[in-house]
Amino acid sequence: MKVATASLPEALRPMELLQGPVTPGSLDDQVLQFPAQRPPRAWYVALAVTLTALGIGVACMGWTLYWGIGTWGNNRPVAWGFGIINFVFWVGIGHAGTLISAILFILRARWRNAIARFAEAMTIFAVICAAIFPVLHTGRPWFAYWLFPYPNERALWVNFRSPLIWDVFAVSTYFSVSLIYWYLGLVPDFASLRDRTAEGWRKRIYTVLSLGWRGAASHWVHYDKAYLLLAGLATGLVISVHSVVSFDFAVSLVPGWHMTIFPPYFVAGAIFAGFAMVVMVLTVVRKTMNLANLITDNHLDVMNKLILAMSCIMGYAYVMEGGTAWYSANPYIQHTFMNYVSGFYGWAGITTITCNIIIPQIFWFRRMRRSIPAMIFVALAVTLGMWMERFVIIVISLHQDYLPSAWHKYIPTKIDFGILLGSFGLFFTLVLLFARVLPVIATSEMKTSLPSRSEGQS
Amino acid sequence: MSSATFAVLGLYTDAHKIVDAANQIRPRKLGRLEAYTPYPVHGLDRAIGLAPSGLGRLVMLMGVIGAGLALLFEGWVSAVDYPLVTGGKALFSWQAFVPVMFEVTVLFATFTAGLAMLFAFNKLPFFGHPVLHSRAIKGITRDKLALSIEATSEAFDAEAARRALLDNGAESVEIVPVPAWDRPLSLVGLLRTIAAIVAACAVAGGGLFAAEKLMPIVPPMIHMHEQPKLNAFQESAFFADGRGMRPAVAGTVARGHLPPAFATPEEAGTLLSNPLPLTQPIAERGHKVFGDHCAICHGLVGDGVPLLSRAYGGKPGNFLSNEIRARPDGHYFGVLMLGKNAMPSYAADLDQDDRWAVVHYIRILQRAQNAKDEDLR
Amino acid sequence: MSATSPRSSLVRNLLVGLTLIGAAGTAGAYFSASRERFWVNWLLWTLFLLTLGLGNLFLVALERLVGAHWSVPMRRVPERIASLIPLAIVLLLVAFFGVPVIFPWTHPAAAHNPILVAKAAWLNLPFFAIRLAVCAVVWMLFYRFYVRGSLRQDESKDPAFTVRARRLAPAFMVVFFFSVTILAFDWISGLEPEWYSDMFGVYLFAGTFISGIAAMLLGVLSLMRRGRLPEVQTKHVYNLGSLGLAFTVFFAYIGFAQYMLIWYANLPDEVIWFKHRIEGAWQPVALLLPLLHFFIPFFLLIGSVGKKHPAPLRLAALSILLGHFVDLYWLIFPVLGPRPLFGWPELAMACFFLGLGSLQIRRAMGRGADMPVGDPLLAQGLEWQV
């Protein structure tokens, strides 16, 4: 049925998605062995490091809870500091996961099968990290439930015209949908785990989590439809959630914030940062868990191409922002944009442009896209650059806006840094736990694209 | 003892073979066809005669319902129940309602897709299915594709089904019996589940109740009540006399409260004249001030008949008398500022404009109560 | 069906007649209607044809960029529709003569407007002309490369062209995005030069892309109905319909985001542009736009049924194309005044440009095979499975 592709020039041949022979059975053995065995020592060492970071973060969060937001660097006029920078950063990181698992599914890109599960997990962990910040930055997070519209004795409703409420709905929808999507994908894998495991408490947990899945074709029909619909809906979410986050800024009057290109610019930036994180984590995972035959160099190559494409889109956005700032003939906007690259925080703007636009350009070269050190370097640069971009947008625009008498610098405190460190600690702790306990590759999805036995390897 | 047969499973490894087998076996109507596979096999659903899923239509419907409900709710909240003009926007600001509407649409649609698929369409979770307890299940979730001919009646011919599967390329066949232990829901199990749910609710509710009661009195929740700032009448260790509230600096006078430059109302009458023009707003202001401060003693028309009870023994001045009418504006101002007999000084109650406005009003009252015919034309 | 059948000759003659009548009417409009009205109509149609052409060229390059197979069998259609590009460039060069008429920043009063003086480094005729020339040149170069190269490949069957086409695609993307942005800022938002919105380039891109898909859909369906694409199946067209659904939503998202942000902040220098377009006599047009460009195609294409049959696909595509035209009309015509104008000059020039555009596409239909038979990926494209 498949046309001979060997006659095509190499550049046009379909991408090899597997290295070496892989059958459904060997796939299960390779991927599903990890939940059943003890992890290597390196895992414990890594966990110790991440738990330390998490511990520092929790301590700082506790300090903040007790003493209030005064322990942060937020003050007039920079009322939004690290809290919102970190929120936007982490929500953005989550978007790559949904793009890989949902958008690439809709586009029938087979290469996503090997990485979708990990990417979805990273989405959920990133959203958890993100959600901490808006809750914490309210100052009285024990009243965070006030953000939801419920009938109450105070006869109060939330202000639906505020983008902060749109955020509440968007991020909570995003989290629940990602969770459902991730869990549904896991159900057949839980069934595999259930049937591989000997009797015991583990088997009972897998039995419950698999919901009694038996792979019935009459079930697959509905399951496939649900999965496709969820993928389509999650695609809409990816675009809308980060657009809503961008609305937090773009609906305001702050110079540099009220730019209409913010929604697609933020979405592109989110995908950009998220892919860098995915690449960073997967390069480590495929090495330490011996999955390089499934998460191949070709997978990394394609992801790096996407990083390059996103970098170019970010470049377009930066040019448009700066160009329109000049074109607007609005002195406030122009002053802000000059401030982005010169002035007290000018180093942040230069770092952003260098890390986001200039460094990823090395991915035009195939050798760089396939070199692990190069891609880790670029991924780190992009992660830093995208965090710095949010810093630039939030801090620089706020610290000098319309009224010079209100200008003031923003100095983050140790608590701010501690919580940022803690969020990374939380994220990587969850990633490590996930790799230990759950199947990191969606084996049931992978099996659909494996060659069937009668054809051998293609 | 295995009683009836539930199904006969034929195991395959190759996707094409199982689809071919299904196509061959289906017309023979040996039983209800089903397949059990570790991944969805292309074409197998059609081969065993499955209709396409109706989930899409349900999801679309729920999405539209979500959109409508969200828009109505937002509109009702913002324009009907708690209408508040924010940012100068219209009450039903649909532009601002779109983002939440979109998110709720997606929420309704995805929950429907996920939960309806599991609970309604696939009737999961269900742990009692016979195939889950077959030998083949280990292979089914790993790499084997199973074609199942399931018994639909007493007349099910397991041997014919077995032969049909083997003839059509099955690598092995397993006969799955109806489980002997097919027990219905036990009363004890049901009671235990209900007890667990009730206990969980009790714990959650009790915890929330305790938290609600505890929250206002435990730091850091009370930090907003107990703030380091100084409140009225609060003591302060910062000042030597321990008072938080400080008196005015000695030798200073608040604006508008300079002591008057006259000692008696007669002197005020010679020194001062009404600086305010007689305009409608000022007349109305005087009217209000008179009603608030003066009428209670001097009467609503200034005739000295107080609104107080008859027990009041004082005799307020009658503004309509010739004697008082003859006095100049400055005299009225002086009485107001210094007080007279039982009347206290109203200097602290009224600001400068109020004082002169009420003087205008008294003049208006005097004229009104002594109107001539020409005035009415 | 050969190009010289009696029916096709009839169609050709009708189109030529339409064009000639239109030409006469256009000339009449030049001399009798106001010059502003003439040039605004010229600009509207030029942009319509140009964006249709560019949108289809973008589809061709996009396929190369992502290495898609499913669209290869249908790719000759957008390559042919892209032939509107050379025609539209000529029309755009003619439109340059109308620039001093309709663009306020060219008028003497602009020298006294401090905002326009501040923008004079960008908004001046020499630089404008240079940008126009550069865009025209790059569009022509890429058009020739992708379309001529594909036609030549029919004969040569050389896979090296496909490799080169794929390698050049990223460069095309960069050039395309910036040139469409320049088109949007120079020719559309420049009509109200005090206004600015950095989303505007993306907005025009979104409209260009979706109308390119719509035109491609119509072309493919029309060829399939005439039996000229016997190997293209429902699954291919279904996928194209899905792409159309996705980018219908994308256009609505971009359009709504731009509108909502400007509505929300309510800044006078931004809101005025929308006030001109959604209040008073323009309101019906502003309501028609989302109906044609979003609601109709969305509800037609959202179910899987709508994407499997030619009738809903055709209706959705027509709605999108009409919506794109209304969009350009709504963007440009308010410069003429608070009432939307539609009279005989508009009708006459519509005949002229529709005739020209149709004749140009008809000419392109005769070039090359109906499928890119020389493309090494064609076989994979035909047997592509979901």
pLDDT given at position C4: 58
The C-alpha of C161 sits at a distance from chain A's nearest C-alpha, in angstroms, of 11
- Provide the number of CB pairs (under 8 Å) joining chain A to chain B: 215
**Residue B332: is its pLDDT beyond 60?**
yes
CA distance A211 to A188: 9
Helix (H, G, I), strand (E, B) or coil at B235: strand
Pick from A260, A332, A393 the residue to mutate for testing the C interface (most C CBs within 10 Å).
A260
Question: What mean pLDDT do residues A354-362 have?
Answer: 97
DSSP secondary structure code for residue B118 in this structure: I
Which residues of chain B neighbour A142 with C-beta distances below 8 Å? 215, 221
Q: Is the ipTM of this complex over 0.90?
A: yes
The C-alpha of B88 sits at a distance from chain C's nearest C-alpha, in angstroms, of 9
Instruction: Note whether C30 contacts A: Cβ–Cβ < 8 A.
Output: no
* Nearest residue in chain A measured CA to CA from C64: A12
H or E element that contains B147:
strand B145-150
CA distance A416 to A414: 5
Question: What mean pLDDT do residues A228-250 have?
Answer: 95
CA distance A125 to A167: 18
Question: What mean pLDDT do residues B57-76 have?
Answer: 96
Q: Does C253 contact A260 at a Cβ distance shorter than 8 Å? A: no
Which residues of chain A neighbour C167 with C-beta distances below 8 Å? 11
Residue C32: count of CB within 10 angstroms of its CB: 11
DSSP secondary structure code for residue A270 in this structure: H
Query: Pick from B35, B107, B142: which is nearest to A217 by CB?
Result: B35
Question: What mean pLDDT do residues B18-35 have?
Answer: 91
Which residues of chain B neighbour A447 with C-beta distances below 8 Å? 38-39, 143
Instruction: Note whether A6 contacts C: Cβ–Cβ < 8 A.
Output: no
pLDDT digits (tens, 9 = 90+) for A314-353: 999 999 999 999 999 999 999 999 999 998 999 999 999 9
Position of tokens 């499975």? Answer: C385
Chains that touch B (3 or more CB pairs under 8 A): A, C
pLDDT digits (tens, 9 = 90+) for C85-111: 999 999 999 999 999 999 999 999 999
Longest alpha-carbon distance in chain C: 65
pLDDT confidence tier of residue A455, bands split at 50, 70 and 90? very low
Query: Pick from C256, C302, C385: which is nearest to B60 by CB?
Result: C302
Question: What mean pLDDT do residues C175-203 have?
Answer: 95
CB C255, CB B98: distance < 8 Å: no
Which residues of chain C neighbour B88 with C-beta distances below 8 Å? 266
Which residues of chain C neighbour A264 with C-beta distances below 8 Å? 199, 202, 254, 257
CB B7, CB A214: distance < 8 Å: no
CA distance B34 to B9: 9
The C-alpha of C261 sits at a distance from chain A's nearest C-alpha, in angstroms, of 5
Q: Does C266 contact B95 at a Cβ distance shorter than 8 Å? A: no
Tell me which residues of chain C, numbers 241 to 260, contact chain A at a CB-CB cutoff of 8 Å: 242, 246, 249-250, 253-254, 257-258, 260
pLDDT given at position A452: 58
**Residue B362: is its pLDDT beyond 90?**
yes
pLDDT confidence tier of residue A458, bands split at 50, 70 and 90? very low
**Residue A393: is its pLDDT beyond 80?**
yes
**Residue B2: is its pLDDT beyond 70?**
no
- Provide the number of CB pairs (under 8 Å) joining chain A to chain C: 96
Q: Does B55 contact A222 at a Cβ distance shorter than 8 Å? A: yes
Please state whether beta strands B172-177 and B32-36 pair in parallel, antiparallel, or not at all (unpaired).
unpaired
Query: Pick from C264, C302, C385: which is nearest to B96 by CB?
Result: C264
Nearest one of A148, A160, A170 to A238, comparing CA atoms:
A170
Q: Does B87 contact C385 at a Cβ distance shorter than 8 Å? A: no
Chains that touch A (3 or more CB pairs under 8 A): B, C
The C-alpha of C308 sits at a distance from chain A's nearest C-alpha, in angstroms, of 17
Tell me which residues of chain C, numbers 98 to 137, contact chain A at a CB-CB cutoff of 8 Å: 114-115, 118-119, 122
pLDDT digits (tens, 9 = 90+) for A47-91: 999 999 999 999 999 999 999 999 999 998 999 999 999 999 999
The C-alpha of C256 sits at a distance from chain B's nearest C-alpha, in angstroms, of 9
Q: Does C261 contact A262 at a Cβ distance shorter than 8 Å? A: yes
Chains that touch C (3 or more CB pairs under 8 A): A, B
CA distance B145 to B22: 12
CA distance B117 to B120: 6
Percent over 70 (pLDDT), chain C: 99
Q: Does A221 contact B131 at a Cβ distance shorter than 8 Å? A: no
pLDDT given at position A6: 73
CA distance C221 to C232: 10
CA distance A326 to A328: 5
B4 vs C367, more confident: C367
The reply to whether omega before C284 is within 30° of 0 (cis) is no
DSSP secondary structure code for residue B256 in this structure: T
Pick from A218, A242, A244 the residue to mutate for testing the B interface (most B CBs within 10 Å).
A218
Q: Does C257 contact A320 at a Cβ distance shorter than 8 Å? A: no
C363 vs B215, more confident: C363
Which residues of chain A neighbour B37 with C-beta distances below 8 Å? 215, 217, 220
Helices (H), B78-229: 94-111, 137-140, 158-167, 187-214
Of A314-318, C31-35, C123-127, the range with the lowest mean pLDDT is C31-35
Pick from A227, A261, A319 the residue to mutate for testing the C interface (most C CBs within 10 Å).
A261
pLDDT digits (tens, 9 = 90+) for B185-200: 677 878 888 999 999 9
Question: What mean pLDDT do residues B106-131 have?
Answer: 92
Q: Does A192 contact B141 at a Cβ distance shorter than 8 Å? A: yes
Residue C223's domain spans which residues?
2-383
Mean pLDDT over the full length of chain C: 94
Instruction: Note whether A312 contacts C: Cβ–Cβ < 8 A.
Output: yes
pLDDT given at position B182: 58
The two three-digit tokens of residue A268, written as one number: 């592109």
Residue A71: count of CB within 10 angstroms of its CB: 18
The pair phi, psi for residue A182, each rounded to 5°, is: -65, -45
Residue B254: count of CB within 10 angstroms of its CB: 7
CA distance B12 to B146: 6
Question: What mean pLDDT do residues B292-305 have?
Answer: 90
**Residue A109: is its pLDDT beyond 90?**
no
Question: What mean pLDDT do residues B85-102 have?
Answer: 94
Nearest one of A149, A177, A180, A143 to A162, comparing CA atoms:
A149
The C-alpha of A355 sits at a distance from chain C's nearest C-alpha, in angstroms, of 19
pLDDT given at position B311: 74
pLDDT given at position B223: 83
pLDDT given at position A127: 96
**Residue C44: is its pLDDT beyond 90?**
yes
Helix (H, G, I), strand (E, B) or coil at C281: helix
Pick from B19, B55, B142 the residue to mutate for testing the A interface (most A CBs within 10 Å).
B142
What residue type is assigned to position C230 of the chain?
P
* Nearest residue in chain B measured CA to CA from A143: B221
The C-alpha of B95 sits at a distance from chain C's nearest C-alpha, in angstroms, of 6
Which residues of chain A neighbour B59 with C-beta distances below 8 Å? 229
Query: Pick from C256, C266, C302: which is nearest to B98 by CB?
Result: C256
- With 0-12 CB in 10 A as exposed, 13-18 as middle and 19+ as buried, what is B10? buried
Instruction: Note whether A247 contacts C: Cβ–Cβ < 8 A.
Output: yes
Which residues of chain B neighbour A456 with C-beta distances below 8 Å? none
Instruction: Note whether A155 contacts C: Cβ–Cβ < 8 A.
Output: no
Instruction: Note whether B186 contacts C: Cβ–Cβ < 8 A.
Output: no
pLDDT confidence tier of residue C117, bands split at 50, 70 and 90? very high
Torsion of CA A386, A389, A395, A398, to 10 degrees: -130
What is the torsional sign of CA B250, B255, B256, B260? positive
Cα end-to-end distance, chain C, whole Å: 31
